[in-house]
A and B are shown apart, each in its own frame.
Chain A
């Protein structure tokens, strides 16, 4: 995974990568594993500049799913910091670049929430709910957004 040129480019552009190896850095693995409650490999955490975990991946994923999740995580981090316009950009990236991954319906949900948080216009939520009738209608995110239909 980490030798794929697209993955290397994405991570190098957006992150400072740190590896804690279960055997080669056993003490650091144990210390960080306790701090972040990581019990399994691979566990991959997106940690914001304040040191707070913002997204977690456990287990191996195919390239598109992996990149979709990393992009989704950057959106979640922006959202958590109140940067709703920035969050929407990341979520839109997921929908545009990784539309067939599990990250996509989640991104579709949260881009609607981000728009609402940014504008205060509840129409953004209704539009998101309607969008789920066109795509990702069989996902849990469609169920979660159904309450917004007007």
Chain B
């Protein structure tokens, strides 16, 4: 059976941006109203 991979959303923008700086990556920031 194929496993479904899910996105690992973060919810703390500031700490994620700090990590992005360290790793030289971009942040994808999603303003959402989708059901959780």
Binding site for B on A (CB under 8 A): 2-3, 5, 8-9, 11-12, 14-25, 28-29, 32-33, 36, 38, 40-51, 54, 70, 74, 77
Q: What is the total of A-B residue contacts with beta carbons within 8 Å? A: 120
Decide yes or no: A49 and B21 within 8 Å by CB, A11-B7, A29-B31, A43-B31 being known contacts. yes
Decide yes or no: A47 and B26 within 8 Å by CB, A3-B4, A3-B6 being known contacts. yes
Other-chain contact of A16, B28, B32, B34, B36 (Cβ < 8 Å): B28
Closest to A50 in B: B21
Q: In the complex, are the beta carbons of B13 and A28 less than 8 A apart?
A: yes
Other-chain contact of B29, A12, A47, A50 (Cβ < 8 Å): A47
A/B interface sample: 16 pairs, CB < 8 A: A8-B5, A11-B28, A12-B8, A16-B20, A16-B25, A17-B7, A17-B8, A18-B12, A18-B16, A20-B11, A20-B13, A20-B29, A21-B36, A44-B31, A46-B26, A47-B29
